[in-house]
Copies of this chain bind each other. A is one copy, B any other.
Amino acid sequence: MADIFLLKDLNLNLTQRSIGTDKGLAKIGDSIVNLTYSVAKSMYLTRNNKNNKIIRTGKKVSKTILAEALKNANMKSFSKNRADAHDLADTVEAIIAYIWISEKMAIKEIIDFLLDSLTGDLYERHIEIESARIAFTKLLNHIKKFLPEN
């Protein structure tokens, strides 16, 4: 969506790890994750609000949630050896940035995908954490097909 030229060096020798350990991609992905989750959550809460109240909210997705999603999707191979939760979360962010820059999914599609995966009462903190974990796991499983096999 941004400019595929930004991936030119990576695409020369594309591996799971070259995507998943790229620090620049992780920084770009951090904003994409927060933007798409914030809008998906706002739409979910608005849709499920009994008083027809419109809810707009922003939410930083925690590193723990993203790290667990990567593990649940069996995609730790995209991260470096002995990665901690912070590294694993960065890997999720880098993958999502890669998918977006390479035009496999638009921001709107990521939002819709997350929205369709959210369930339960997100005002309950532990339910939101579980719901976000599942939504990002599903997203990672969905985008596997756009990523290198090793």
Q: Contacts A6-B43, A32-B35, A39-B3: A27 and B58 contacting too (C-beta < 8 A)?
A: yes
- A 1-27 contacts with B by CB, 8 A: 1-3, 5-10, 22-27
Interface size on A, residues (CB 8 A): 37
Interface hit among A49-57, A69-77, A121-129, A141-149: A49-57
How many protomers of this protein does the assembly include? 2
Is A58 touching B28 in the complex (CB atoms < 8 A)? yes
CA distance A35 to B31 in the complex (A): 5
Cβ of A107 under 8 Å from chain B: yes
Contact B58 A24 (CB under 8 A): yes
CA distance A78 to B88 in the complex (A): 40
* Interface residues of A, Cβ cutoff 8 Å to B: 1-3, 5-10, 22-28, 30-32, 34-35, 38-39, 42-43, 46, 53-59, 101, 107-108, 111
